[in-house]
Amino acid sequence: MTCLPVLAEDSGLEVTALKGRPGIYSARYAGPKSTAEECLRKILREMAGQNNRDCRFVAVLALAKQGVLIRIFRGTVKGILTRKKKGRSGFGYDPVFFFPPAGKTFAEMTVKEKNTVSHRAKVLSAFREYYEIKGLS
C-alpha cells in the first residue's frame, strides 16, 4: 500500500431514453472489444425514432489515501444526442453530443472550448478546488 494519495476517474454518456445507458459501459457498449465507432453506431441505431434525445456526460473522480476513500467528485454536462455525427474533433460520443449553449457538438468545438464546459473539466475543477483548500499532505 502506498502512502501517496490515489486518484481514479471514469466517465460515460447517460441517455435518458435508454434509462441511463450506456453509462459506465460507454467505452465497450457495443461489446468488450468494440471500437468507438461501433459504440457510436449502436447508440444511434437504438435511438432511431426516439424523440427524447436528452443525455449527459458524467465524470466521477475518487480520491483515496492509504486504502481509505477520502472524497468523490462528480462533473456533468447536459446535451442532446444528435441523429447524425457532426464534427471531427474529440473522441467517443463527441460527434453526437450536441451542447445547446455552444450551438454545436463536442466534436465541433475546439479543445479550449470543450475544456471549459466538459464533464471532465468540471470534475477536475472540483478536485482542484478541494486540493487547494484541504491539501493532500
Per-residue pLDDT tens over the stretch 68-83: 999 999 999 999 999 9
Please choose, from the candidates 52, 69, 55, the residue with its C-alpha nearest in 3D space to the C-alpha of residue 23: 55
Give 134's pLDDT tier (boundaries 50, 70, 90): confident
Q: Which of 26, 44, 33, 50 is nearest to 84 (CA)?
A: 44
Q: What's the average model confidence in pLDDT over 16-28?
A: 95
Give yes or no: 10 in active site: yes
Q: What percent of the chain has pLDDT over 70?
A: 97
The architecture of the domain spanning 5-134 is Alpha-Beta Complex (3.90)
82: which 3 cell numbers?
Answer: 444528435
Confidence at residue 136, expressed as pLDDT on a 0 to 100 scale:
56
Name the catalytic one among 5, 7, 10, 131.
10
Q: For 28-38, what is the mean pLDDT? A: 94
Residue 89 to residues 18, 29, 79, 96: CA-CA distances in angstroms?
Answer: 25, 21, 17, 11
Alpha carbon distance 95, 84 (integer Å): 8
- Provide the pLDDT for residue 135: 64
